Amino acid sequence: MGWSVEGVPHLGRRCSRGNRMGVRTRVAALAAVALAGSVLVAGQADAGGNHSSLKPIATGLNGPRGVSTYKNLVIYSVTDGSVYVTNGRKSVKLGKVPGTGGFPPAIDTNKWGTTYALTGAGGEPGQPPVPGSSTLYRMRYGKTPVKVADIAAYQAHDPDPYNQADSPTESNPFGVAALSDGTVLVSDAANNDLLRVWPNGHVKTVARLKPRTVKVPAGLGNEAPPAGTPFVAEAVATSVTVGSDGYYYVGELRGFPATPGTSEIWRIRPGSVGAVCDPVKPNKGNCQRYADGYTSIVDLAGGPHGTLAVVQLARDSWLAFESGGSTIGSLYLQYPGKNHKAGYKRELVRGQLNLPGGTAFDRWGGLYVSAPVFGPGAVYKVRY
């Protein structure tokens, strides 16, 4: 089921919580729960050299975000919920999903060419959700998207036991990864967990991400606790991918106070149910910390030879951006190290990406990225 891109004609893939409707505060809706605060380990050393560049393959887009690939095609999503496929010369619209609430859906495409689109939380806090929000859809060219699962409905009965914001059943599904067996992984930024969705709509909780004590950074103003104050920050699971080793990798945004360098990447054993990702015991169980020291991760992509592409929305943190700071984000190539832990990382196209939203590898190791997630933007191929 779902569309096959081969059938497409002419193409031979908050401060603490946030206001979901505001453009600048839309970033905090990623967190959906960010009540947080204390210290963290620095990330691995960056590799030397930065010989990389960007080549646009789809331009004139309004808020491009999701990126996936299938064979020689690139699929991408934009703000109004539309999903397109391009061969780098011509783009064709696959369809449009409802319920985006002004924020583009996450997407992924499986090995058969079926694309899934995931809408996040929509509407104002305290108001009824936008119809079609927090939903996983299966897309078929020329057809109305098919609802696979209502993620918010599942989370209403799957409370986050580590919630810091007195809203344990809140849901803001944000990351998606299609598996080779036809199931789909969904990371929920508000419920701080990883879900697995079957084609019939059945859902299981794969893993839960516990909050982390961080230190409040300087420069947050008089309303925030003093710099250096320990603060419990929710994980905010924004992203998920499958590595070349078959393991699931989940990236964190990090909730308020969004302390730079405190976003982790977790490595989860395939087939897990109810695993716990614990910053205090990061090397225990079916979910173990793979990498540390990132800032405001919003997407991951599994590449060849154990590599991961890691997108940071804003290198100074999402909260710094929302407070009027820099819009410069980051794209890293994370290499594997020893004992199933991350090795060194290399920043690509340094300083050239404003608020990047999504990334994907093709089967030949080609890398793609979208930016900015708000306003006019493009999808690029990254030469590295």
- Which residues, at least 6 apart from 170, have a Cβ–Cβ distance to it below 8 Å? 32, 33, 121, 155, 160, 163, 190, 191
Report the SS3 class of residue 151: helix
Backbone angles phi, psi at 277, to 5 degrees: -100, 105
Banded pLDDT at 4 (limits 50, 70, 90): very low
3-state helix, strand, coil in the chain (%, to 5): 5, 40, 55
DSSP H/E element including 174: strand 173-178
Token pair 């599994």 is at which residue?
302
CATH code assigned at 223:
2.120.10.30
Domain count, the chain: 1
In this prediction, residues 111-117 reach a mean pLDDT of 97
| pTM for the model | 0.90
**pLDDT of 100 over the 60 cut:** yes
Contacts of 321 (CB under 8 A, 6+ apart): 24, 27, 313, 314, 327, 355
Provide the pLDDT confidence category of residue 50 given band limits of 50, 70 and 90: low
Spatial CA neighbour of 182 closest among 220, 217, 148: 148
| Residue 110 belongs to domain spanning | 5-383
Please say if the pLDDT value at position 259 is more than 90: yes
State residue 130's pLDDT score: 86
- The chain-wide mean pLDDT, for the chain, equals 89
- In tens, the pLDDT along 119-174 reads 999 877 667 778 999 999 999 888 899 999 999 999 999 999 999 988 999 999 99
Report the distance separating Cα 226 and Cα 211, nearest Å: 20
Angstrom distance (rounded) from CA 206 to CA 171: 16
